[in-house]
Amino acid sequence: GENVEQHPSTLSVQEGDSAVIKCTYSDSASNYFPWYKQELGKGPQLIIDIRSNVGEKKDQRIAVTLNKTAKHFSLHITETQPEDSAVYFCAATDSWGKLQFGAGTQVVVTP
Amino acid sequence: DAGVIQSPRHEVTEMGQEVTLRCKPISGHDYLFWYRQTMMRGLELLIYFNNNVPIDDSGMPEDRFSAKMPNASFSTLKIQPSEPRDSAVYFCASSLGGGNSPLHFGNGTRLTVT
């Protein structure tokens, strides 16, 4: 089945700096790669997603890149703000269309 | 749109008791998912439904767990009997189009079994 690995597990950045989270996946049939943000006491919320026919996607300060050959995808957050502090999860669909989540990255943005 | 609604938000029960978690998906969504979140195992898919029919329950840990979706606007996850190792946050999510579409999560039920 699909195995999604996510790094780092924790990430501390200064406000205004960039944050990068990286994920790898194992199933070459995976074709959908969403990123979720989870704030304390809430459910995960989709922040951006990318499909296998696209290499990069951007939405304001957030961008995602996908390298299908290497089976890895990354989340980039620019000009970080305190409200970006949260746990971020990458995910990938497996051959059965089920989402497999990475272990999560705790991002702390310090003023 | 009110989003996915889960109840209760918190549940504390004693080992051996029956626990029922409830979920109301977003109107019009045809897929419903139950996830469990723990520090050790992260987000695990327990079961999902399409048009109220259970499609894959391979993630359900044991026979003590059961889930139903009697209609398009309501689903339950039941644990009977509950055990301390069932303590976790249980999330319900819905989507229009399955796992290849954005999932909308509820705010979860934090279950503590003593």
- pLDDT confidence band for A108 (50 / 70 / 90): very high
- Predicted confidence (pLDDT) per residue in B66-77, tens digit: 999 999 999 999
Q: Do the Cβ atoms of B107 and A41 come within 8 Å?
A: yes
Task: Give CA–CA dist B77/B42, Å, rounded.
Answer: 19
Cα-flanking dihedrals φ and ψ of residue A2, to 5°? -70, 140
For chain B positions 68-107, those within 8 Å of chain A (CB to CB) are 91, 93, 98-100, 102-107
In chain A, which ranges are E strands?
Answer: 4-7, 10-14, 19-25, 32-38, 45-51, 56-59, 62-67, 72-77, 86-93, 99-101, 105-110
- The answer, yes or no, to whether residue B100 has pLDDT greater than 90, is no
Question: What's the rounded Cα separation, in Å, for the pair A86 and A68?
Answer: 27
Across the A:B interface, residue pairs with CB atoms under 8 Å apart total 46
CB atoms within 10 A of CB A19: 20
With contacts defined as CB-CB under 8 Å, which chain B residues touch A99? 45, 99, 103
Nearest Cβ partner of A97 from B42, B99, B108? Answer: B99
pLDDT tens-digit profile of B41-50? 999 999 999 9
pLDDT of residue B1: 64
- How confident is the model over A57-71, as pLDDT tens digits? 999 999 999 999 999
Residues of chain B in contact with residue A54, where contact means CB-CB under 8 angstroms, are: none
Please answer yes or no on whether B105 and A45 come within 8 Å at the CB atom. Answer: yes
Among all chains, which residue has been given the structure tokens 């304390």?
Answer: A40
Task: Find the mean pLDDT for residues A6-11.
Answer: 98
The residue of chain B nearest to residue A5, with distances taken between CA atoms, is B42
> Which chain A residue shows the shortest CA-CA distance from B41?
A103
Overall average pLDDT of the B32-41 stretch: 96
Name beta bridge partners: A111.
none
User: How far off is chain A from B43, nearest CA to CA, in Å?
Assistant: 6
Smallest Cβ–Cβ distance between B100 and the set A45, A97, A103 belongs to A97
Task: For A28-81, write each residue's pLDDT tens digit.
Answer: 989 999 999 999 999 999 999 999 888 999 999 999 999 999 999 999 999 999
Stated length of chain A: 111
Residues B43, A101: C-beta atoms closer than 8 Å: yes
Mean predicted lDDT score pLDDT of chain B: 96
